[in-house]
Structure 1
Amino acid sequence: MRNKKKQLLFGCLAALVLSAGAFPAFAQDQDSFSTNMESSSQNSVPVAVDITAVYGRNAKPGSFVPIKVSIYGQTEAPFSGTLTVSTLESDNDEGTEEYEYSYQVEVGPAETKTMEFYVPLGQKSGTIHLTLKDGKKKTMGETSMEFDVSKDENRLFAGVLENKSGSLSWIDGIGLNYGMLTTRVVEIPGEDFPEDSRGFSMFDVLLINGYDCRTLNDLQKEAVLTWVENGGTLLIGTGRDRDKTLDILGEAEPKVSLRDPEVLLVGMGTEYTKNSPEDSEVRVTYTEPVISGAKERMVTDGTPLLKTMKYGKGTIGVYGVSLSDLSGFAKKNPSFASYFLGEIFNEDELNTIYYYSQGGDADYWNAYNLVSGGNGERIPNLAIYGISVAGYLVIVGPGLYLLLKKRGINRYYGTAVFIFSAASCVVIWGMGFKTRFTSEFCTTATILDASGDSAGEMTFLNVRTPDSSGFTVDLPTDYRVTPLTRSARYDMNQLEDYPKKRQASIGIRKEADQTVLWSRKSKAFDSRFFLLEREKDLGGWKCGGGLCCVGWDDHGVCGEQASCDA
């Protein structure tokens, strides 16, 4: 599969760039996704930028899009600037707003630097806009990338890592769950295999077939296992490729062992018999997986071709054969692909995939349930307020009048009421001081998935303001920050055109020493949800399982907020 590429050449001819407003339009067909901007004077071009979408045009709303950015320094002066990516998200009122992600980029003279970014694709559009600015915030160039998202077709995405391109093409375009879902196979280039679990977020299943996973590094294997732990489905073909593929399991590999290989003639079922019984038979190299507590699936002639086990929230499945051994049979019998996929997912799982095919927002609703409230210490004491109001009415009514009349100065009753009412207003205002918000405030809920001396930390963050002003929140730089927005499936217009004509409402800016969340404006007390993730050192505390801590911070700096006891 060809990668989609966009090439940007930025130079000192800024006037030409600004007058154009954007790079030339790129080809819209599936195979071509590139553009060039030529400069008449190559000596004046400070940098060249090459942007590649790892999975081509394939994407799912609400998932991450892995992009690789290569910057080439072409002058004697170093270049330092900011790459900004803009997406279109849904807001809390069935409208839209623009989110902006900023990354610092720099390159020295005659230097080439390649970076990988994971960009959250907006819930409301498959288009992203990219802008490069120099250190003086001057726009050097901008362009757009449009991904293939559809509101008419619900897709089951299957990521494939294989040694021979097209060997699993027979599972592409298959209708499942009474035609409600259509499979889409996305081949993952081995050289671009993600080192972050966010790189697999759009996939419903990941298949490993024939690829030598011993060439993958520990970060790539860990990323796969993290994705599975969070609910992904990983399937591994073995058989004659058993020494290559099983290594994808990394630290989970000891959970699986394989018996000695043998060559078998396996009958796939009488429904595939056309002219003779041999039509339904496939010769395979079979190595039976041995997995404690595994479920057996695809049992043919008493031979389980697939065994599955739970791993965290997800599933790991190991085939006793190489999936390439089944390719010839599957191409002759198209109905086999539906059976093959039906053995992986049951009806409830397919319904869940269908529900989230137009945008994932499970974490949005988790945040909504966990951090939509506030700090109980800021709730006014209604009893004290009630006593104060009752006392005011007694005093300002008959109390003052009778007191002044007794002293013969009841002519000053109006003045006394005015003075006492003013004093009472000051008292009431002072009583509400600790419940009053003057700037942005944060509510957090932190979950620690702990084991030994370290833990995976997942924090749900809600940022609100007491008025329509914007906010700024500073976070430690080791957090991975993901904005959480509502899926567009609830809106009348699920997908919308996204021309670059507006200012961003929400931004995430990655800096060298911190990550900054910001908003230009916000509705009073309107929630903005974010997911913060990182690995945390427990500092000597020993925790044997998951631990949930909840904390609040009423300031603009959200750092080490959650606390937990040993």
Structure 2
Amino acid sequence: MVRPLKRAAVCLVAAGFLGGLAFCAPAWAQDDPVSMDVSYGYEDSAKGGRYLPVNVTIQNNQETPVEGTLEIKTRESDETVYRYDYGVEVEAKGSETTRYYIPLGTAADELVLSLTDSSDNVLLNRKVKLNVSRDVPELFVGVLSDAPWELHYFNGVGINYSTLRTRTFELDGTDFPEDEVGLSLFDVLVVNDYKLRDLSGTQTAAIMNWVQDGGVLILGTGDRVDDTLGRFAPELLDDSYGTPNITHINLAEDFTAVNEPGAGMLAISCVDVPLHGGNVILSSNGFPLLTAAVKEQGLVAVAAFDLGDIADFCEKQTSYVDYLFTNLLGEERINQLAEVVYSGNSGRFWAVQGLINTGDVDKLPNLWLYVGITGLYLIILGPGLYLFLRGRGLQNMYRKGVVIVALGFSALVYVLGMPTRFRSTFYTYAAIQDVTDDYITDTTYINIRNPYNRPYTVELDPGYRLLPITRSSQYTVGGQSLDVDEPYQIAIRTEEDMLTVKGQNISAFTPRYFRLERRTENTDRVGITGEVDYFEGQIQGTLTNQFPYPIENATLVLYGNMVQIGRMEPGETKNLADYELLRYPLGDSYLAAEHISGEDAYASADIRNKNYMLAVERSNLTRFYLDNYLNGYTADARVIAFSTQKEESQFLKNPSEETYGITMLTQTVPVNASRDSSIYRSVLMKTPKVLGGSYDAETNSMSGAEPLTLEYQFGTDIEVESLTFETVSEEFAGSGSSLSRIFTGSIYFYNYATGNFDKMELEGTTLDVEQLKSYLSPGNTLTVRYAYNGGGFDAIQLPMPMVAGRERGC
């Protein structure tokens, strides 16, 4: 069960006492007219850069009701103060308990809560010291299980040379969050030995939404596979899972740190889980023990066994949990989680700034017009006015004439400059609308700026959830003390029918970035629907625009492949076979985005060209999307396109002319990659084993400084029939991008018959099973050595190995 949230009716903070934890006064002071009790987080813990659950109980000891505002102040990553306001009503002699989710900056380690009445008189203040780890980055692991004690081995483990340290929290299903924001504090959620159907539909939906936002879900199965996996089976599996059977496995097959022979040999109940788009993380004699699949920004991992069944082994082999998490999360994700403690969320801030730090080109002044007016002014003011007056004998009027001409031209310049001026608060935005059959998830990034050095108020659509995006003000994140009376820079008021942002003490034109999120039902069944068939490098199928307006730059993206469709009218259907299938450099989102948006068609930058600027903005948003939403192997395809409908004020409660931005539309389209019981898929769905050299699995690239040797794993579920190494299309070769260097050199296959590496000629060649016979191991693996002979040694793009074969048992 979850331990009670930390009490923090704080009157005194004892520095150094128990590591700086708050020393709490008694919860209630019955003699006070109004008193407050505060609790936060899970098991007395908070984490910067996340939403913090804060429970506030207000006790009214008066004979009259209390109506006012609860103000919660916190310091954001850039050291500025943000305040969150909520309306409060407490009846006479009554109490009210409410849970609030407060965005917590990476510099924050305390909250200041104030209760004010309807006249803004302060009734009471509370200062809450938060238990935030500043020394060692922590990996928060939520555990949902009927037997959580069996998973204690997950706690307190150093991950990837102690880059992170795990900390587990036992969750109670009776108080499980109904919104993904309630899981925001967790990096990993482990569900094992628990019946998920005991949760409501909204609670299980919250889990998957949390995963899509970047969470990692680990499901234990074994004998209780129906309980833990059954509810998610339709959206996670290619086929129904098998029946649990006692299976002899070796947990230490690739785990070299085992300290006693045979320790990893277990006979436990296992089940074969056909996870859709799954990448085998751990295996034993070809049987997948842990399989993971990318879901938007997060991961879903399914173990073939009950995680409690390996507790004894993990408690003896203490580094096995490190091995498991390091392989599952990957070095890049681990470093990103650790970076928040050391340098805050600056990476996200700079990415968003580059995304929406633009504006309407119509606001740019016409330079040549002003040059012409200035020239005309000088001509008239100089010889023109003098000669005009002298011809009429009015030379003595020259001084007055100069003043009149200067005033006239000043008025002209002012009038001509009116369209370029901002008269009130203005906004730039970039929106991503992800569509499914049931929902539309709208994620909008906005930049709010004010042209004056005075306070401003913005009313947003109350259907959105608002999250500030700030950068760290220093390299080492550390909080300054927050005074009770310290003024705020941004105040955010949230009510059922109200979402307002107030700014004060902010210089003119200073940007403030926010992320807005909203999920609505897809009642009109809009979207980009279709069917995709992909086999042996050939793509077929159709896509239909179900939006009531044209879309542009429509592109089908399939793990390193793209099909550019272009503009689609409402209701129009396109045949994919009519378009060229291009393979782009997997790790070069910049190059891919330029090609999708059409920016690469312009020889030079021209900020006065509306079409060019539109292409740049779409390229920026596409690159942001590829980096944050499509950064791993997925078996499905994704359609991206841009809306031609200008919904400039969609996030505002009241329309405003001072908004500018673009909207991207996205939708997942299932891919049929099978034909006559044969399947065609990327070999990289299973991360290759590096036997020598330097390899980046995220981008399928190598360092050219030394040869690279990889062991590709085809999987035990397929009988290989052919293998093709697909190279990057010529459209992307020779680009100036540093990530677009294409592999040139020699490729060798390890020959199991001779024990030597054989040089292969693979360009444009598909190898059949007879040609591969000497190179496939009994475990269905292929060992390949790449020797690069080109110039430069950074991020050399390797060809994409694609395998076709018959599924075993079919």
What's the TM-score bracket when you normalise by the shorter of the two chains?
0.7 to 0.9
Determine if the alignment matches structure 1 residue 193 to structure 2 residue 158. no
Determine if the alignment matches structure 1 residue 348 to structure 2 residue 332. yes
AA partner of residue 324 (structure 2): F
Following the alignment from structure 1 to structure 2, what is the Cα–Cα distance between the partners of residues 344 and 211? Answer: 22
Determine if the alignment matches structure 1 residue 451 to structure 2 residue 452. no
1:3-22 matched pairs, under 5 angstroms: 3-6=4-7, 8=9
Determine if the alignment matches structure 1 residue 132 to structure 2 residue 133. no
Query: Which region of structure 1 is more displaced relative to structure 2, 311-320 or 252-261?
Result: 252-261
Following the alignment from structure 1 to structure 2, what is the Cα–Cα distance between the partners of residues 531 and 555? Answer: 11
Which position in structure 1 is the counterpart of 2:76?
Answer: 89
Q: CA deviation at 1:237?
A: 0.5
Q: 1:407 to 1:250 in 2, by over 3 A?
A: farther
User: Could you tell me which of 36, 52, 59 is aligned with 2:26?
Assistant: 36
Determine if the alignment matches structure 1 residue 174 to structure 2 residue 162. no
Aligned-residue identity in percent: 29
Following the alignment from structure 1 to structure 2, what is the Cα–Cα distance between the partners of residues 453 and 389? Answer: 59
Q: CA deviation at 1:311?
A: 1.7
Query: Structure 1, residues 388-414: CA drift from partner, whole Å, max 9, x if none?
Result: 111111111111111122222222222
Contact in 2 for aligned 1:23/1:37 (Cα 8 Å)? no
Determine if the alignment matches structure 1 residue 158 to structure 2 residue 141. yes
The runs of 5 or more residues in structure 1 that have no matched partner are 9-21
Q: CA deviation at 1:39?
A: 3.4
Determine if the alignment matches structure 1 residue 104 to structure 2 residue 105. no
Following the alignment from structure 1 to structure 2, what is the Cα–Cα distance between the partners of residues 564 and 269? Answer: 49
Following the alignment from structure 2 to structure 1, what is the Cα–Cα distance between the partners of residues 118 and 108? Answer: 30
Determine if the alignment matches structure 1 residue 421 to structure 2 residue 409. no
Following the alignment from structure 1 to structure 2, what is the Cα–Cα distance between the partners of residues 541 and 260? Answer: 38
AA partner of residue 485 (structure 1): T
Following the alignment from structure 2 to structure 1, what is the Cα–Cα distance between the partners of residues 651 and 283? Answer: 59
Following the alignment from structure 2 to structure 1, what is the Cα–Cα distance between the partners of residues 231 and 13? Answer: 40
Superposition RMSD on alpha carbons, in Å?
A: 3.2
1:49-448 matched pairs, under 5 angstroms: 49-71=36-58, 77-91=64-78, 96-109=79-92, 113-247=96-230, 249=232, 252=235, 257-269=240-252, 277=262, 279-358=263-342, 359-361=344-346, 363-448=348-433
Q: CA deviation at 1:558?
A: 5.6
Query: Structure 1, residues 104-137: CA drift from partner, whole Å, max 9, x if none?
Result: 1223356664432211112212211222223333
Which position in structure 1 is the counterpart of 2:615?
Answer: none
Q: 1:54 to 1:60 in 2, by over 3 A?
A: closer
Q: Per the alignment, in what secondary structure is the counterpart of residue 100 of structure 2? A: strand
Q: Which has the higher contact order (CA 8 A, sep 6+)?
A: 1
Q: 1:338 to 1:453 in 2, by over 3 A?
A: closer
Following the alignment from structure 2 to structure 1, what is the Cα–Cα distance between the partners of residues 60 and 174? Answer: 23
The runs of 5 or more residues in structure 2 that have no matched partner are 529-638, 666-810
Q: CA deviation at 1:49?
A: 4.3
Q: CA deviation at 1:466?
A: 1.5
Query: Which region of structure 1 is more displaced relative to structure 2, 263-272 or 117-126?
Result: 263-272
Following the alignment from structure 2 to structure 1, what is the Cα–Cα distance between the partners of residues 650 and 52? Answer: 33
Q: 1:344 to 1:472 in 2, by over 3 A?
A: same
Q: Per the alignment, in what secondary structure is the counterpart of residue 71 of structure 2? A: strand
Following the alignment from structure 1 to structure 2, what is the Cα–Cα distance between the partners of residues 344 and 518? Answer: 42
Which position in structure 2 is the counterpart of 1:12?
Answer: none
Which position in structure 1 is the counterpart of 2:3?
Answer: 2
Contact in 2 for aligned 1:77/1:108 (Cα 8 Å)? yes
Following the alignment from structure 1 to structure 2, what is the Cα–Cα distance between the partners of residues 65 and 383? Answer: 53
Q: CA deviation at 1:38?
A: 4.3
Q: CA deviation at 1:53?
A: 1.9
Q: 1:516 to 1:36 in 2, by over 3 A?
A: same
AA partner of residue 233 (structure 1): V
Following the alignment from structure 2 to structure 1, what is the Cα–Cα distance between the partners of residues 369 and 350? Answer: 36
Contact in 2 for aligned 1:443/1:553 (Cα 8 Å)? no
Following the alignment from structure 1 to structure 2, what is the Cα–Cα distance between the partners of residues 295 and 472? Answer: 49
AA partner of residue 98 (structure 1): V
Following the alignment from structure 1 to structure 2, what is the Cα–Cα distance between the partners of residues 274 and 402? Answer: 102
Following the alignment from structure 2 to structure 1, what is the Cα–Cα distance between the partners of residues 259 and 340? Answer: 39
Query: Structure 1, residues 52-87: CA drift from partner, whole Å, max 9, x if none?
Result: 324133222211112233455656543322222111
AA partner of residue 75 (structure 2): L
Q: How many residue pairs align between the two structures?
A: 544
Determine if the alignment matches structure 1 residue 479 to structure 2 residue 479. no
Determine if the alignment matches structure 1 residue 23 to structure 2 residue 16. no
Following the alignment from structure 2 to structure 1, what is the Cα–Cα distance between the partners of residues 155 and 179? Answer: 25
Contact in 2 for aligned 1:307/1:319 (Cα 8 Å)? yes
Following the alignment from structure 1 to structure 2, what is the Cα–Cα distance between the partners of residues 390 and 541? Answer: 58
Contact in 2 for aligned 1:57/1:146 (Cα 8 Å)? no
Following the alignment from structure 1 to structure 2, what is the Cα–Cα distance between the partners of residues 344 and 36? Answer: 45
Query: Which region of structure 1 is more displaced relative to structure 2, 231-240 or 356-365?
Result: 356-365
Q: So what's the TM-score if we normalise by structure 1?
A: 0.86
Q: 1:112 to 1:428 in 2, by over 3 A?
A: same
Contact in 1 for aligned 2:192/2:220 (Cα 8 Å)? yes
Q: 1:352 to 1:37 in 2, by over 3 A?
A: closer
Following the alignment from structure 2 to structure 1, what is the Cα–Cα distance between the partners of residues 266 and 378? Answer: 92
Which position in structure 1 is the counterpart of 2:753?
Answer: none
Q: CA deviation at 1:486?
A: 0.8
Contact in 1 for aligned 2:143/2:168 (Cα 8 Å)? yes
Q: CA deviation at 1:256?
A: 6.4
Q: So what's the TM-score if we normalise by structure 2?
A: 0.62
Following the alignment from structure 1 to structure 2, what is the Cα–Cα distance between the partners of residues 40 and 353? Answer: 44
Q: CA deviation at 1:26?
A: 7.7
Contact in 1 for aligned 2:73/2:81 (Cα 8 Å)? yes
Contact in 2 for aligned 1:5/1:50 (Cα 8 Å)? no
Contact in 2 for aligned 1:477/1:515 (Cα 8 Å)? yes
Following the alignment from structure 1 to structure 2, what is the Cα–Cα distance between the partners of residues 547 and 85? Answer: 40
Q: Per the alignment, in what secondary structure is the counterpart of residue 29 of structure 2? A: coil
AA partner of residue 11 (structure 2): F
Q: 1:337 to 1:84 in 2, by over 3 A?
A: same
Contact in 2 for aligned 1:442/1:552 (Cα 8 Å)? no
Query: Structure 1, residues 315-348: CA drift from partner, whole Å, max 9, x if none?
Result: 2111111111111111122122222222312223
